[in-house]
Amino acid sequence: MEIILWSLIAYILGSIPFGLVIAKTLCNIDPREDGSRNTGATNIARLCGLPYGIATLVLDVSKGFFPVLVASQWVESGLGLSIIAMAAIFGHAFSCFMNLKGGKAVATTVGAFIALSPWGGILSAASCLAVVALSGHVSMGSLTFALALPVFMLLTGNIAFIPAAVIVMLLLFKRHKENIYRLASGEENPWLKDKA
């Protein structure tokens, strides 16, 4: 029962489109109609400015982190916590407040997996930041993060979370399909200039 309840809470929290709220309320911009047409932190930073992008990033990470962290006080099984984490992540990707549409869910995944496995999540996120710093492409960093996630779950001994990490990896790759095509064709611009 606790797993169902916390999964529902996590999904609803994950569904809150903080980027959309920030952009429409503070910038009078609908990010679904401009830039990459995405409600994530990268597009909000491009359209509204870096401080707004950072605020979106922090909130999107938090809505993955806190439901899992709090639920862990009641739910002990790795499977149960994995389900709750995925509920938050899929809430962002398929928001009940946006007709089951949503963002790419990278930031929410970071938060959820840091709550599940602090070192595994942090090391995966660090690999993302390193690739972004070297390449200038947030999409490349996000794909690196997706690949690193199950690897670091294994290396940090969090075997129970590997299935969830693999499922989320597939989701993130699907969500970045267009970015992958642009990276392969050399058309993906650095994030500060990217409008696609």
Q: Which residues contact 81 (CB under 8 A, 6 or more apart)?
A: 68, 71, 72, 75, 116, 161
Banded model confidence at residue 194, pLDDT cuts 50, 70, 90: very low
Give whole-number Cα distances, 38 to 31, 81, 160, in Å.
6, 28, 32
**Closest-CA residue to 32 (of 40, 147, 110, 60):** 40
Exposed e or buried b for every residue in 36-48, given b needs 16+ CB within 10 A?
bebbbbbbbbbbb
Whole-number pLDDT of residue 151: 97
User: Which DSSP symbol is given to 27?
Assistant: S
Give whole-number Cα distances, 99 to 44, 55, 140, 175, in Å.
20, 24, 28, 17
- Chain mean pLDDT for the chain: 93
pLDDT in tens, 50-101: 999 999 999 999 999 999 999 999 999 999 999 999 999 999 999 999 999 9
Cα(17)–Cα(135) distance, rounded to whole angstroms?
28
Residue 104 one-letter amino acid: K
Boundaries of every domain in the chain: 2-185
Angle of helix 106-116 relative to helix 162-175, nearest 10 degrees, comes to: 170
